[in-house]
Each structure stands twice: as C-alpha cells, then as structure tokens.
Structure 1
C-alpha cells in the first residue's frame, strides 16, 4: 500500500484520475478506506492506495555521447544513427558496431556506457505515480554495458541488467555486465556498492529475478565491490571472485607524439590480458577508443591532437575484468624528419630537417653533434634554430652521431620531439 494524505477539495474521483491506471477504481479505494462520502473528503486524511492500481508513466533516456557506428531502432524497426541530444524510450534497441560507442543518461542521472559490439534493449523505463518509484530494466543481448547507477531513494526503486543467463539488480552502484553469446556466459564485475545476481527466469538455477522492492540480500548471489561473478551456460550463478588490482601506467607524463598512441603498463599479477578505453572526459562517458592486448604494452592507434583520458584494467584467466585506473594524457603529433650529407665541392657537412608544416612557425630547433652515440660530450650544441638546416665545417676523419630536437611552447606547456640518433663516417 501507498499512503495519500488528502488536501482541501480532494475527492476520490480526483485522486483516482490523478494516480490510478483506471479512474473507475475509485470504488476500490472507497471500500478499502471505508469512505462513504467520496465527493467530500476531510483534509489530512490518510488513504491507503494499492500500489498495483497506480499508474506507471513512461520515462526516457538521452544520448549524451556517441562515436563511430552506433544506432537505435524501436522494436524490430530499421537501425537509425544515434544522435547526441536524441531521446530513446522504452522498447528502443541500441546497437554498436566495430569502434562504435554510445552513452545514455537516464532521468535520474544514471549512465549506460555501451562499448563496441554490444546490443541491448531498454525493456522498462517507468515511474510509478504517487510513490515516484522507478523501474528500469535493460536486456543485454550481446557484448558489454558499463553502468553507473545513482543510489535508490525509495525501497521500490529497481534497476536491473538482464542477460540470457543472469539478472543483475542494484540499488546504486558502478558495475559492468558482459554477455558472451558464443559461450553463453555472463560476467558481472562490481566496482562500487553491491550487485544481486540471480539466474534468468529460464535459466537452470532455482532463483529468479527479485521483485521490485525485494532486498538484494534475497538474491542468489550478492557480489560486493571489487569482486566479480562468472556464470557459465547451464550452470548455477557464479560465486564472488576478487577482481585484479588496477594496473599502473609507466611514464604517465609522457606526451603521445608518435604516429601510434601506445602505453606501457606495469605487469599485474594474475593478468592474462589488458584493456584500455580512451575518452574525451575524465568519467569516460564520451568514449572513442577501446583496445585489448595480451601483454602490458597496448596500442590504441592514431588520435587527433588534444587532451584525453585512458582507463586501464587487467583481465584474469576466467575473463573477469579487474579494477580500473584512469590517467590523463596529452596527444601531440610532431612529425620530424632529418637527413645529412656532404656539401658538394666543399669540406662542409649539411644537416637538414623538417616538421609538420601545421606547426612549423611555432617551432624552434636544437642541433647536437658528438663523437659518441650517447651525445654526452657534444662537439656542437646549437639551440634556438628557427630554420631547418645546420652546416658544420672542417670535421676531421671519424664517426659522428647527431640528432635534432623540435621544441614547442604552446598553451603554457613545453613540448619536444627528438629525431632518432643518426651516425655517419668521414674518411677524408
């Protein structure tokens, strides 16, 4: 039962029209509350209202970020591209392709972050009249969904992610659900809070999804923070397993100036593979990259210049993804080419270089020439060169090593890029 406290001018007809699915059910309210004068209710009277009679209003979800191939369709309709600012409703299907990402925001501020290769339905998005309780159910058909759920404020609030094998129910937490259709297995990984995991209604285990309002403790398995659960096809709900620790990034201050963005992680004990996700924001709601690697060296690919955020995790032998670590990094592509050769008819040796012309005007150069590959005792160390050439005269016979360093200062930050150390031999 829900309780409604009457206000001046209320009648059972008005209350039924405002809150009930069927206004004609005012007669049931009259019987339950022993009301003999439905048109004249005393203000301040507490009326009992069966929750089953209350109207459920539809909620919506908003697309706040998308990248790459990501579409939606209502029911079995054709897929249409997701558009930032667009609205999705109960019954909508969302699908991401290779290198496709989407992030949805629900009415209460909860987020669904959908990486590549996922398919899900917004099965239920509703709010109950009078009580304000929300009911949100997502059916995950394939792939993964990362979820950040705001804490429930009412005992009847429900948030569930359902795969073909399990139901994961929460009352406010951060967790991931990954359904592998080929294996029929579902992984649930809890980062914060707790998640109740039950077998899907058609699964082999005895328990099913908890009803709205049922405490998480009534679930088949309660998975706490920093733990995961792996349920195999045809098996019982998997027990809690400790997740691997978040990996550390080596050289986190490195400017990503090579053609390919790549990271080196400190090896994590128990890791069989690693994952990195790249986004434009610190919360990684606006994802643009997702890569896996068997080892701690992991490549993302080419990115435009800018500031990004990378989230790393280690994956154990069972495929459970561990705790994440997030780092900001600067991407600044500096294309630097260099060559050297004798000036015809002279004893001069000329060194030439070039950089990406988009920034050539804001670049200064440093030229270093030495007789050892470590360049520790340079014969020449010229700085603040504005053009792309240096000429050295009267070098004696021997082997020489050199490099040129492009230096840029922009936006209050200093950037530099050195060419590979090159060598040459003079025999004259």
Structure 2
C-alpha cells in the first residue's frame, strides 16, 4: 500500500517557491564495458550499476528484474548501445542507470537522546522516543525545550535535532541493490544540523527542505534553521551552491560561508563568524552549577552554548542561546563533557563552532563553613562547618596564602564537624573544607568549599585584679582604638548570678567596693568594625572583710588595711 507524501503547501509559512541546492562535482565513472565480473553479479559503478549477464539474459529480462519495468529495456539499449532486444552473451557488462532502480524502505536509529523528545508516525500515533528506537518514513519528530536528538542513517550520516524543533522524515529510502540513500528531512520549526557521509560514490541524495528552501548535498556538514529573517543556511565543511528553483546554482557558498533565503530573494554569501573562545577556568567545574564565560566578540549579537558528552556534539544534553557572555546549566552528573560554542551575526547566521572539553567534579559537595569568619580574638581557633549528606569524614586545609601553596594544616578524615587548632601565630589565614564519601567502594574526596579568610588576633585580656582594701574597686584592660566593652562581674564561675553587667566606652571602670566575698570578672570587646570578640579569661578576686572608721574609711595599721582577726 502506498502513502501519499504530505503536501509541502500544507507546511506553515510555505508561501514562496524558492529552493536551495547544495552540490559537488562528480567525476565520470569508468565505462562499464571495461569492467569484468562474475556472471549474475552486480557492481556499484556510479552513476550506474553494472550487471554481468547470465545465459539467456535479454534487455527486457534485465529491465524487469532490476528496474521492475520491462519498458526500461529501451533506455538500457541506448545506454549500452545495444540496438535490439536479443540474447546477451554471458558475462557481458550491462550498465543500469541508478535512477532506474526501484527504491525500498530505509530507517533512522536514535543514537543519542536527552530530555523530552516525541515522534508521531504516519498513522498519527504519538510516542516518547528512547535510545535505540528505529524511525521510518513520515515520522514527525518534536523536541521540547530541553530535548535533543541524534539519528544515524544506514550510511553513517547523522541528523542532529536540537531543542524547540520539529522535523518530518519526509523521505527515508534507499535504492534496491546498491543501498544508495534517498533522504529528505523537512524542517518545520527550529533547526537541524546534518553531517552527511559522502554520496559521490553511490550517487545518493540527501535533502533538507524548509518552508522557503531545499538543501541537497553530496557529502558535507551544514545547518539549516528558521529565524526571523528567513531560512539560514550555514556551511561548516564542503561547498554549497544556492539559488532559486528557476535559477539554481546562482551562488556558491564555500566552507565557512552562509546566507539567508526569504521571500525577498536570495541573500548574498557572507562569511560566518569565527569560532569563539571561552574564558580560562572552564576546564574544571567544581560546583553543581556549571558556569562558562564566552570571550566577548565584537559585533556578535549573541552566542549558542551546547553541552555534549562527545567531541563531535552528536549527543547534546543541554544548550542555551545567550545575549551576554555568561552561561549556566544545572542538573549534570559528575563526568567529562564538551562545550560547543558559536556566535551569531546581525542577520542571524550562526558562526563556526569551537569545542572545549571540561570536567565536572562537584560531588560529594562540600559542607557550608560556619566559623571562623573575618577575624577571631581567641586563645585557639575553632573551625566549624555543617554536616554534609553521606559524609564519612572531612578534610580541612589551613594556609597562609590564598593559593594554598603554604599549607600549615592538612587534616584529613575528620569525623566531627569541628576541629580546634591551638598555638597558631597571630596572622591572616585561609581555610577550606572538603567532604569525604564512599564511591564505587573507595573513599572519594569532593571539591573544597569556597576559601574562607580570617585574621587571628590576640584574645581579649584583663589586667590582674586585686583587693587593695579601698572603698572603690578599679578595673582596667588592654584595648584598641574605637573599641567598646561589656564588663561582667558575678558571684559564680558560670556567670549565672551577675553582680554587675555594664557597657563601657573606655577600657576601665571604678565601682563602689562590693560586699566581701569571692567574685569572677570578665570582659569582651566590640571592635570599631562591629566584630564582637570572645570574653577574656576569667579573673577571680576575693573582697575581704576590713575595719573601717566612723566616716567609712579603711583603718590603716602600719601601711596595711586592718582586718578582723576571727
């Protein structure tokens, strides 16, 4: 049962009879009469197939057997210069033009797929595609916003369909006997990129049609896309002849050139933008969000960045078109990838691609750092971080430089979420933390956290406190310009029973003599930049009982305050 090909006139936007032809020169084949072969065998000799006659063969029998039409005997006679349909000597070479051979069904195999991609067959049944699926003639393929697809044809040609595109496999056939491909991909929306195996040796045909154009090739790498200006054709390798249907081959596009075809006519050949480069630092990605930066190109109107698992970008798993130079993508697993980058000109032509390999190693993810931050006034340094999922341990590094060339502490397999370092000189330091987890039966270290820096400064001190027996208790401590202070005096070492808690702008205070007893004193400073330090070491002082005169002054006996002797 035959199926009528959907009319091109039904295609959206198909309102002009403009055609684009891509071609290469094919040298004349060797005359079939000079070829010898086993009787009954065939040989592919483009632009013909050569058959070596069996006993009793005639032009009519050969025409019926290989072209399905006895009437083609006349054409075979002219091509082989045989004037009548008589018996042909055994082993005679009979050339059969390839265009006379019947076609048989071919297929395309899904060899790379990512995201949401669906197909609708000739009966209108729509299904989601999977890797390894076979597609046949009249299949309509639709890729969603995150969908990407690569198809392989029997001759190893590749068809790549990026996101937001729709194509119809309008013709998917091959010539019987020679397997010469006959392929038509009809672009209905978006873009399609084709890498076509050379068709010179088998006189195959590969066409990409679109609402305004046809692209027919004989072995090349090219793109066809629908944009606001018309149909953009871009040649990455090979030579392409373009023109209207009424005037084919009007313009030759060499490798690295492109043009726009629209209802106004055939655009001039334009040089495609050179391949962009990426800013250094892309090679190793240590965060789940991959970040790439394109080096800005003058006059570029935007860039396309594609992420693939292969250097040829057949297996595209993510892409984006950006106006500025920054590109980010989430959702990739750790592994090796390739980014392919192109630039767009003002007409919407996409330039030559450049491919950059990079490695994503973002897991196990590092924990969030907690302390220290900015600066620290303490006797020792207490490092703290959050607990990471599935962590078996952590690795801490402390250095005196941001590049971690001068590492002072490199402590691995820390089980807790904190680590204390003592006896560090007062200085500026840099630190980072990484997670250790199990992967494939081995201990695997993830990337380090963002580098944290802090200044380790002397802890707040308090000068010794003694009871002189005077009516006032005077306290003082070291300070720096701009500091303010919180002084606490308590009757217990835990400072739960406060006798005094006072904010001070000066590093000293004089208070009325407290009642006799044991007291605990500490102070902490707030720096001019708002940093609140830790409390000083606790000072302990005993306020003793004394003898006083009638006016409340202490009684002095031999230069010493008199105390009760009981």
Secondary structure at the aligned position of 2:62 is classed as: helix
Matched, 1:258 2:293: no
Write out per-residue CA displacement over residues 243-281 of structure 1, whole angstroms, 9 at most, x where no aligned residue. Answer: 111111222563211231111122223212111101111
Which residue in the other structure is 1:339 paired with? 370
Matches of 1:227 and 1:375 in 2, distance apart? 45
**Partner SS state of residue 156, structure 1:** coil
Range moving further from structure 2, 40-49 or 189-198: 40-49
Q: Would you tell me which structure has more strand in proportion to its own residues? A: 1
Match of 1:213 in 2: none
2:272–2:349 contact (8 Å) kept in structure 1: yes
Greater Cα offset, 324-333 or 43-52: 43-52
Tell me, yes or no, if structure 1 residue 227 matches structure 2 residue 257.
yes
| Residue in 2 that maps onto 1:169 | 216
1:383 equivalent in alignment to 2:415: no
- Structure-1 separation of matches of 2:54 and 2:202: 29
Secondary structure, in 3 states, of the residue corresponding to 2:434?
strand
Deviations 1:226-250 (A, max 9, x none): 1111223x12121111111111122
CA contact (8 A) 1:352 1:390 kept: yes
Query: Where does residue 54 of structure 2 map in the other structure?
Result: 8
Q: Residue 241 of structure 1 corresponds to which residue in structure 2?
A: 270
- SS state of the match for residue 352, structure 1? strand
Q: 1:231 and 1:347, CA in 2 relative to 1: closer, same or farther beyond 3 A?
A: same
Contact 1:408/1:416 (<8 A) preserved: no
1:353 aligned to which of 385, 396, 412: 385
Stretches of structure 1 that go unaligned for 5 or more consecutive residues are 208-217
Q: Distance in 2 between matches of 1:408 and 1:121?
A: 50
**Structure-2 separation of matches of 1:197 and 1:414:** 56
Partners of 1:61 and 1:301 lie apart in 2 by: 31
Alignment of 1:35-74 (within 5 A): 35-37=84-86, 40-47=87-94, 49=96, 53-74=100-121
**SS of alignment partner, residue 265 of structure 2:** coil
Specify which of 331, 340, 343 is matched with residue 302 of structure 1.
331
Q: Could you say what secondary structure the match of 1:220 adopts? A: strand
Q: Does the 8 Å CA contact 1:315/1:321 hold for their aligned counterparts?
A: yes
Quote the residue 1:404 is aligned against. 432
Structure with max Cα Rg: 2
Equivalent residue of 1:386, what SS?
strand
Q: Which whole-Å deviations, capped at 9, do the CAs of 1:178-199 have from their partners, x for residues lacking one?
A: 113xx36111111111223334
Shift of 1:362: 7.5
Distance 2:368 2:52 in 1: 80
Change in 2 beyond 3 A, CA 1:260/1:31? closer
Contact 2:229/2:348 (CA < 8 Å) preserved in 1?
no
Which residue number in structure 1 is paired with residue 38 of structure 2? none
Specify whether residues 21 and 269 from structure 1 end up closer, same or farther in structure 2 by C-alpha distance, changes over 3 A only.
Answer: farther
Do residues 365 (structure 1) and 368 (structure 2) align? Answer: no
Indicate yes or no: 2:236 matched with 1:191. Answer: yes
TM-score of the superposition, structure 2-length normalised? 0.63
- Name the CA distance, whole Å, in 1 between partners of 2:236 and 2:164: 22
3-state SS of the aligned residue for 1:90?
coil
> 1:15 aligns to what SS in structure 2?
helix
Q: Distance in 1 between matches of 2:243 and 2:428?
A: 70
User: Pairwise CA RMSD of aligned residues?
Assistant: 3.4
CA change 1:374–1:122 in 2 (3 A) is closer
Q: Is 1:118 matched up with 2:165?
A: yes
User: In 2, Cα distance between the equivalents of 1:15 and 1:363?
Assistant: 79
Q: Determine if the alignment matches structure 1 residue 85 to structure 2 residue 146.
A: no
In the alignment, does 2:450 pair up with 1:419? yes
| 1:307 Cα offset (Å) | 1.0
CA contact (8 A) 2:394 2:433 kept: no
1:319-338 paired onto structure 2 within 5 Å: 319-333=348-362, 334-338=365-369
In structure 1, what is the Cα distance between the partners aligned to 2:76 and 2:403? 94
- Tell me how far apart the structure 2 counterparts of residues 223 and 75 of structure 1 sit (CA, whole Å): 35
Q: Distance in 2 between matches of 1:298 and 1:176?
A: 23
Partner of 1:153: 200
Residues in 2 aligned to 1:262 and 1:335: alpha-carbon distance in whole angstroms: 18
> Deviation per CA, 1:130-155, whole angstroms, max 9, x where unpaired?
56543221110110111111112337
State the Cα distance separating 1:349 from its structure 2 match.
Answer: 4.1
Q: C-alpha displacement at 1:118, in angstroms? A: 0.7
Check whether the contact 2:388–2:435 (CA below 8 A) recurs between aligned residues: no
**For each residue in 1:360-399, what CA deviation from the matched residue of structure 2 results, as whole angstroms up to 9, or x when unmatched?**
447532134x6xx958998x82113321422144789x99
| Aligned CA distance change for structure 1 residues 273 and 30 (closer, same or farther; 3 Å) | closer
